[in-house]
Amino acid sequence: MKTLIKGIHHITAIAGNPQANVDFYSGVLGLRLVKKTINFDAPDVYHFYFGDEFGAPGTVFTTFPFAGARKGTKGTGELTYTAFSIPKTSLEYWIERLKKYDVTVSDKLTRFGKELIRFEDHDGMGIELVANDEDDRKGWTYGQIPLAHSIRGFYGATLYLTDKEGTADLLTKHMDYHFIAEENGRFRYGTEGKPGDIVDILVNPDASRGQQSAGTVHHLAFRTENTDTQLQIQQLLWDNGYQTTEVKDRNYFKSIYFRSPGGVLFEIATDEPGFAIDEEEAHLGELIKLPEWAEPSRKKIEAGLIPVTLNPASYV
Ligand code: ZN
């Protein structure tokens, strides 16, 4: 059967200081800064995209960094942990590496038979590294991390909800997801059940709602092949009572947004055209790229942004 949704496209979080954000995701975690642009809905704020070499869908963690933003709080109605996939034998490497940069790392946890570690970035953003041997993506490195240990892309995401029914229905009835397994109140869904498409719903009816600010996720984007399949999903969602936005042009993909029943903002983003449309692949992320409509205001926009430097080599 032809599916319209192929897993996770990107995850977008709110962050604090932009330099600290680049240092952590490119320096410590070793993701490639594939695009340095602005928030199209708030052009005075950066939008950073971190991913693999070309920012393939399923690898891209993106941030809106607000210098001086207060920290948000984790709670229900949020995506609380973003899980990245690492090779099965790389867990010890990452524990050592994170400790070297003063990151407080959890003990090794086991979930659905796989070992993982959990930690937070300087803003309190929840991250997990899941060790597995099911990921055939090759990873990427600036050189400071051996390629053999590099992050492969997303493993999955945890949605923390007071009630799973509405979101589970949406995923399984209209978004090509199926239920995989349950463990300790954690309900796992996937399109194929492979790294990059896993969505877990963790239920706690009594927990308080999260507060969105620095260190919390803004939205979860799912991938679809192209604008045709995107319009098909939009129609399907409308037919089933979900209100979506119109299609928005995000330059590197096209997007629709809608609020999932559990409270998390969902997006459906196209795999096309990708991050090489306005920069050569060898130089992704080096310059501030703006959408055409913002170019006339470039001077003013750049003057309002804190300059950031990309310096992964100092995170050996
Ligand atoms: Zn997005």
CATH number reported for the structural domain that contains residue 230 in this entry: 3.10.180.10
Say if 207 falls within a structural domain.
yes
Q: Cα–Cα distances in Å, from 104 out to 69, 79, 81, 131?
A: 22, 20, 15, 18
Say if 3 falls within a structural domain.
no
Say if 100 falls within a structural domain.
yes
Determine the Cα–Cα distance for residues 107 and 118; give it in Å rounded to an integer. Answer: 8
Determine the Cα–Cα distance for residues 165 and 172; give it in Å rounded to an integer. Answer: 10
> How many structural domains are present in the chain?
1
Ligand 1 (ion): which residues have CB within 5 A? Answer: 12, 221, 267
Say if 1 falls within a structural domain.
no
Radius of gyration for the alpha carbons in the chain, expressed in angstroms and rounded: 18
Say if 84 falls within a structural domain.
yes
Say if 281 falls within a structural domain.
yes
Determine the Cα–Cα distance for residues 182 and 112; give it in Å rounded to an integer. Answer: 8
CA triplet 131, 28, 100: central angle to 5 degrees? 85
Q: How far is the CA of 269 from the centre of ligand 1 (A)?
A: 7
Q: How far is the CA of 267 from the centre of ligand 1 (A)?
A: 6
Q: Cα–Cα distances in Å, from 15 out to 12, 65, 87, 153, 250?
A: 10, 4, 27, 20, 20
The pLDDT tens digits along the chain (316 residues) read: 579 999 999 999 999 999 999 999 999 999 999 999 999 988 899 999 999 999 999 999 999 999 989 999 999 999 999 999 999 999 999 999 999 999 999 999 999 999 999 999 999 999 999 999 999 999 999 999 999 999 999 999 999 999 999 999 999 999 999 999 999 999 999 999 999 999 999 999 999 999 999 999 999 999 999 999 999 999 999 999 999 999 999 999 999 999 999 999 999 999 999 999 999 999 999 999 999 999 999 999 999 999 999 999 899 9
User: Beta partners for 222?
Assistant: 8, 268
Q: How far is the CA of 221 from the centre of ligand 1 (A)?
A: 6
Range of the domain at 237: 8-315
Task: Please tell me the pTM assigned to this model.
Answer: 0.97
Q: How far is the CA of 316 from the centre of ligand 1 (A)?
A: 30
Q: What are phi and psi of 171, to 5 degrees?
A: -65, -45
